[in-house]
């Protein structure tokens, strides 16, 4: 979406930058950069802005909630996935360490047998 359209949309909703940014879940500075064209919106923000082009002002609040909830749910799920991966890696690490300890014990036993044989 072009920077001029974002600014025009904000003005259509009768909001100053800080209000519009707050409703979108972004900082006022980032909104300013979007309106100047120096930064581009994320995919989710682009989708939200496109949806807002076709919505009534009354629908504005409703259209924000799913995006914010989805973002929050995605972050929570990402955190859970990351923790699961960490646990799996730690389990592999423990298994590897256990194998190393067993191999060292076998080497030690073989050395003892060899020493007795000599």
The rounded distance, in Å, linking the Cα atoms of 45 and 51 is 10
DSSP 25: T
pTM score > 0.75 for this model?
no
pLDDT band at 62 (very low <50, low <70, confident <90, very high): low
Provide the CA 11 distance to its chain's centre, in angstroms. 30
H or E element at residue 118: none
The rounded distance, in Å, linking the Cα atoms of 113 and 103 is 15
pLDDT in tens, 2-54: 888 899 888 888 889 998 888 888 999 999 999 999 999 888 888 888 887 77
What are the extents of the domains in the chain? 3-117
Q: Yes or no: is domain 3-117 CATH 1.10.10.10?
A: no
């Amino acid at each position: 979406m072009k920077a001029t359209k974002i600014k025009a949309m904000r003005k259509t909703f009768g909001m100053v930058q800080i209000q519009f940014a707050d409703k979108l879940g972004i900082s006022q500075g980032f909104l300013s950069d979007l309106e100047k064209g120096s930064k581009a919106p994320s995919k989710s923000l682009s989708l939200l802005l496109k949806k807002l082009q076709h919505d009534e002002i009354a629908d504005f609040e409703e259209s924000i909630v799913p995006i914010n909830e989805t973002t929050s749910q995605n972050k929570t799920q990402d955190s859970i996935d990351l923790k699961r991966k960490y646990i799996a890696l730690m389990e592999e690490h423990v298994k590897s360490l256990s194998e190393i300890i067993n191999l060292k014990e076998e080497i030690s036993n073989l050395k003892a047998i060899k020493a007795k044989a000599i």
